[in-house]
Amino acid sequence: MQKIFDEVNSLDKRCYEKFLLSEDLLMEHAASSIASYIRENHSSCKSILIVCGSGNNGADGITLARLLHKKFDVKLYLASNPKSSMTQLQFQRVEALKIEIINELFEADIIVDCLFGTGLNKPLDEKSTNLINTLNSYNSFKIACDIPSGINNLGQVQSVAFEADITITMGALKTSLFSDVSKDYVGKIIVADLGVEREVYEVESNKFLLDESDMNLPFRNKKNSHKGSFGHLNVVAGCKKGAGIIAANAAFNFGSGLVSVVCHENLDLPYHLMQTHFISENCTAIAIGMGLGKYETDEIRKILNKNVSKIIDADLFYDELICEVLNQEIVLTPHPKEFCSLLKLCKIADIKVEELQNNRFLYVPMFSKKYPKVTLLLKGANVIISKNEKLFVNSFGSAVLSKGGSGDVLSGLIGSLLAQGYDCLDSVITASLAHTMAAKNYDKNNYSLLPTDLIEEIRKL
């Protein structure tokens, strides 16, 4: 996993003070990283348009123009006059080289966005909005320097943002790159070093980006075992019984030795799933909430107070009953609307989904601070996982998963790992990564995924 930071100005300052690196030197490395990427990956391209603002993000772009001069047909477009001292210095250098400054945008082979970076702290004016819209309309390969212009330091987009194919971010990963809104703009993210390796530049952080290597699949390494060695998950099925059956099927295919669906009505289940009318005496984990609908409160309260690991989803986030178990080591997996309801029930915030989506990295820590025993997974384009004061981002999700039943599969995967003895946080991290990697491996049309397809891909991981 990789560290994520809310801001990196303090890390830059540390480089100046502790490692005696100058601002000019850091800027040279920033521009050099973009130049190296272009030379190595786009050597056949001819024309490059670098669009610069008046601050240090613009200075990075002006420096880049100097580094690529003669190797490519480089044109500089200045959206406003250089203001910062570094921008003025870099501009003097490109003037000495007689690099062409243009007044009209054009569709170059490559466009590099160096307008605002992380320095954007107010809504875009009409001129900037029109400029970005024009750049987005071009069929060029688009590179964002540090962060696509139009995204502020909270990961919010007020009106429009540069639609990058790749974002080369400087020094370290920033939280604003991983908002749900940012996902349609950042493209692939690369971290460029600024004169020292990342492990030197970075300090401690409580936010992390998950890598595929963080997935710890439940491979069976012990030869002397039986079905009971791998846990017994109970999945509580409610009004929408299909949700529980999907979760149970996913759990069985993810290594749980036994899976029982708990329902008072007789169900037509696959042969490998068992049915019970009440929680099994030997169950090692419970999955509850998926398609639960209306239920008998006292019965559900009894189940929630069972002394086994639990994953809770869906309908229970609308009932005050959930507040009674938030002092337990449990897993919660709400989608945004459900999380808004949970925040209100817990008296943390009364907000709409839009407010949450614009501030996911604000409200998730607020909840986790109040309920440090809970492992929370907030669903979204970028999944956020939080436990106590640590936060993890799974950025592998895609629109492939935007189908009914996908969340039920995830609940089953988490429940399966809980039943097999994983702790709550490890269960959620591995299950979430498996869920998104399985969807990534699905090779049919991205609108056609069925829960059974997702489960089949899980089997191939």
Question: Is 266 annotated as belonging to a binding site?
Answer: no
3-state secondary structure of 151: strand
Q: Give the separation between CA 81 and CA 39, rounded to whole angstroms.
A: 28
Question: Is 55 annotated as belonging to a binding site?
Answer: no
Question: Is 244 annotated as belonging to a binding site?
Answer: no
Question: Is 61 annotated as belonging to a binding site?
Answer: no
Tokens 């290597």 sit at which residue?
Answer: 213
Q: Which of 51, 193, 176 is nearest to 119 (CA)?
A: 176
Task: Please provide residue 246's backbone torsions phi and psi, each rounded to the nearest 5 degrees.
Answer: -60, -45
Question: Is 24 annotated as belonging to a binding site?
Answer: no
Sheet holding 73-78, edge to edge: 100-102, 73-78, 47-52, 110-114, 141-145, 166-170, 188-192
Residue 138: CB partners within 8 Å, gap ≥ 6? 105, 107, 108, 111
Question: Is 123 annotated as belonging to a binding site?
Answer: yes
Tokens 């090692």 sit at which residue?
Answer: 284
Question: Is 408 annotated as belonging to a binding site?
Answer: yes
Question: Is 109 annotated as belonging to a binding site?
Answer: no
Q: Give the separation between CA 423 and CA 403, rounded to whole angstroms.
A: 28
293, 273 contact by CB (below 8 A): no
Question: Is 121 annotated as belonging to a binding site?
Answer: yes
What burial letters (b/e) apply to 392-406, b meaning 16+ CB within 10 Å?
A: bbbbbbeebbebebb
Question: Is 9 annotated as belonging to a binding site?
Answer: no
Question: Is 282 annotated as belonging to a binding site?
Answer: no
Question: Is 397 annotated as belonging to a binding site?
Answer: no
Question: Is 255 annotated as belonging to a binding site?
Answer: no
Question: Is 57 annotated as belonging to a binding site?
Answer: yes
Question: Is 120 annotated as belonging to a binding site?
Answer: yes
Question: Is 125 annotated as belonging to a binding site?
Answer: no
Which residues make up each annotated binding site for (6S)-NADPHX? 56-60, 117-123, 146, 243, 291, 335, 408
Which residues make up each annotated binding site for K(+)? 57, 113, 149
Which residues make up each annotated binding site for AMP? 407
Which residues make up each annotated binding site? 56-60, 113, 117-123, 146, 149, 243, 291, 335, 407-408
